[in-house]
A and B are shown apart, each in its own frame.
Chain A
Amino acid sequence: METSDTLGAAPAGTQADVEPVESTASAESRPASPRVDRNRWILGGVGATLVTLLILFFLSTRLYVYDRLDPIAPANAASESTPEEAAAMAKEIKDLESKAKRAQRSVAGMVPGSVYIVVDTAQNKLYLKKRDKVLQEALCSTGSGGLLKDPNTERQWVFETPRGNFRVIRKAEDPVWTKPDWAFVEEGKSVPDNWSERRDYDTLGDYALYLGDGYMIHGTLYQRYLGRAITHGCIRLGDEDLERVYRAAPLGTQVLIF
């Protein structure tokens, strides 16, 4: 008996200590009325739904669904069309085919009929072409893409071969290079005041084809580097290839660089 009483009652000393807490706890642990409980559930449900909807909206604007893009599926409506519709369809097709062929002929006519040059900067290759035929393929060197900053001034240069459609605007044998400022800055030298100190008789090789803005197709002292992107923007060729290109490409030759 005694044992069961002791178990059922709290120790006298602790009861006073926990009393204030007990009163709060008892308030909390008091069973809520069914109405309050239901309201809580409803509010919680509404909140959760709103949050879910917001998340779904956010995801739907940011998540993408991908589908393979295929050629259009040819549809054959002949068996279901009336003779009039079939005739109208045939006429439309004829008109469309005629327009398409005219446009295709115009595009084909834009390919130069005379010799032209294509430079592939990704592969460091130069092609001498006529229409679709490759007359000559050569290894070349194109721009490194490097950035040079002048430590003394704010100037900077990016050594890229320009991309686009150019023309040979001048040709020269035994060309002389007038070294620009960056050639001195790159070597850590001061830029000379005397113009004669800029003249270089060896670097460009035997021939040069000028494309404008200081860019040209020329020879090189560093033939072992052909096939690499190491230049300051010009296109360098080996001696033999340069001579053939120089002889084959007259003034005005189109040069397509990509």
Chain B
Amino acid sequence: MKALLLAALLGQGEPLPDVASARERERVARLDLEAAKSKEFYFLADTASLTLSLKLGGVPLATYKLESIDLGLPLASAGEALSLDELYRCVAPPREPVEIVPGPPPAPATPGQDEEKKPPVPRGAVLTCEPPLAVHVVSASKVLGLRERLRLFGDRKDEPRVRLVVAEADADRFFSSLPKKPLVLFSRVPQPAPESTAEAR
């Protein structure tokens, strides 16, 4: 009876709010809270807005624009479904520090010669995650060289991969502040449909 009443209230045949979307929204919110409580840096990769948000303790710190998010599966298991619904604990590759040569402090800066010597910022990184997942992050302009392709070819083969292509404008920022052990969470919540403007007109 109650079910019938509810159905009548909803109006049979009317578009229903989607269960799958609601489940996804709840999953993302729940894992966002879990990650926020962990006191570790975490990334929220949003497939709808194509953004990667860096957060800590629930506080949004930075947002990077993505060109694409791709899921890669080994050819042998390409047909299998992968939900990516975990909170992945990842490890980023260490960056090689530039060695400082001890000696007297440099002379006062001279205009024109006082250029900043920036340590090289990588344009790509592979985060190794648990549950098994490799997150390949590359800048949009990054073209893989033969050596890198061969290295990827020889990498672990049985784990799924996610490839995040960071927009070139944000790549420097992203790779400069890539945390050593971030958590990664993927959101596949659809963007809310734009509200009809018919009533406003």
- Whether A74 lies near B173 (C-beta < 8 A) is no
Cβ-defined partner of B3 (8 Å) among A78, A87, A122, A144: A87
Complex contacts, A68 vs chain B, CB 8 Å: 68-71
A59's nearest neighbour on chain B, judged by CB, is B75
Complex contacts, A145 vs chain B, CB 8 Å: 95, 97-98, 119
User: In the complex the two chains form, what is the Cα distance from A68 to B69 in whole Å?
Assistant: 6
Q: Taking A66-B72, A72-B21 as contacts, is the C-beta distance between A121 and B176 under 8 angstroms?
A: yes
Q: Is B143 an interface residue (CB 8 A)?
A: no
B84's nearest neighbour on chain A, judged by CB, is A69
- Whether B58 lies near A110 (C-beta < 8 A) is yes
User: In the complex the two chains form, what is the Cα distance from A192 to B119 in whole Å?
Assistant: 31
- Whether B186 lies near A69 (C-beta < 8 A) is yes
Main secondary structure of the interface of B (DSSP, over half): mixed
User: In the complex the two chains form, what is the Cα distance from A177 to B29 in whole Å?
Assistant: 45
- Whether B22 lies near A110 (C-beta < 8 A) is no
Please, what's the 1-or-0 string for B45-58, where 1 marks a CB less than 8 Å from any CB in chain A? Answer: 00110000010111
The distance from the CB of B142 to the nearest CB of chain A, in whole angstroms, is: 15
The distance from the CB of B194 to the nearest CB of chain A, in whole angstroms, is: 14
B177's nearest neighbour on chain A, judged by CB, is A122
- Whether B97 lies near A146 (C-beta < 8 A) is yes
Complex contacts, B13 vs chain A, CB 8 Å: 78-79
User: In the complex the two chains form, what is the Cα distance from A216 to B69 in whole Å?
Assistant: 38
Complex contacts, B48 vs chain A, CB 8 Å: 71
Give residues of chain B (67-110) contacting chain A, Cβ–Cβ below 8 Å. Answer: 68-76, 78, 84, 95, 97-100, 102-105, 109
- Whether A74 lies near B190 (C-beta < 8 A) is yes
- Whether A258 lies near B6 (C-beta < 8 A) is no
The distance from the CB of A237 to the nearest CB of chain B, in whole angstroms, is: 18
User: In the complex the two chains form, what is the Cα distance from A122 to B170 in whole Å?
Assistant: 11
User: In the complex the two chains form, what is the Cα distance from A231 to B5 in whole Å?
Assistant: 68
B48's nearest neighbour on chain A, judged by CB, is A71
Q: Is B26 an interface residue (CB 8 A)?
A: yes
The distance from the CB of A64 to the nearest CB of chain B, in whole angstroms, is: 4
Q: Is A53 an interface residue (CB 8 A)?
A: no
- Whether A71 lies near B58 (C-beta < 8 A) is no
Give residues of chain A (120-135) contacting chain B, Cβ–Cβ below 8 Å. Answer: 120-123
Complex contacts, A148 vs chain B, CB 8 Å: 99-100, 102
- Whether A111 lies near B73 (C-beta < 8 A) is no
Q: Taking A110-B58, A187-B102 as contacts, is the C-beta distance between A66 and B3 under 8 angstroms?
A: no
Please, what's the 1-or-0 string for A208-250, where 1 marks a CB less than 8 Å from any CB in chain B? Answer: 0000000000000000100011000000000000000000000
The distance from the CB of B199 to the nearest CB of chain A, in whole angstroms, is: 22
Q: Taking A86-B6, A110-B36, A144-B119 as contacts, is the C-beta distance between A78 and B12 under 8 angstroms?
A: yes
- Whether A86 lies near B56 (C-beta < 8 A) is no
The distance from the CB of A79 to the nearest CB of chain B, in whole angstroms, is: 5
User: In the complex the two chains form, what is the Cα distance from A258 to B177 in whole Å?
Assistant: 6
User: In the complex the two chains form, what is the Cα distance from A77 to B30 in whole Å?
Assistant: 25
- Whether B7 lies near A87 (C-beta < 8 A) is yes
Q: Is A7 an interface residue (CB 8 A)?
A: no
User: In the complex the two chains form, what is the Cα distance from A69 to B69 in whole Å?
Assistant: 6
B interface with A by C-beta (< 8 Å): 2-8, 10, 12-26, 28-30, 32-33, 36, 39, 41, 47-48, 54, 56-59, 61-62, 68-76, 78, 84, 95, 97-100, 102-105, 109, 114, 116, 118-119, 153-154, 157-158, 161-163, 172-174, 176-177, 179-180, 186, 188-191
Given contacts A118-B61, A149-B99, list 11 more A-B pairs with CB under 8 A.
A60-B74, A72-B188, A84-B7, A90-B16, A100-B30, A107-B32, A147-B98, A158-B97, A159-B100, A187-B103, A258-B62
A interface with B by C-beta (< 8 Å): 57, 59-79, 83-84, 86-93, 96-97, 99-101, 103-104, 106-112, 116, 118, 120-123, 144-149, 151, 158-160, 163-165, 185-188, 224, 228-229, 256, 258
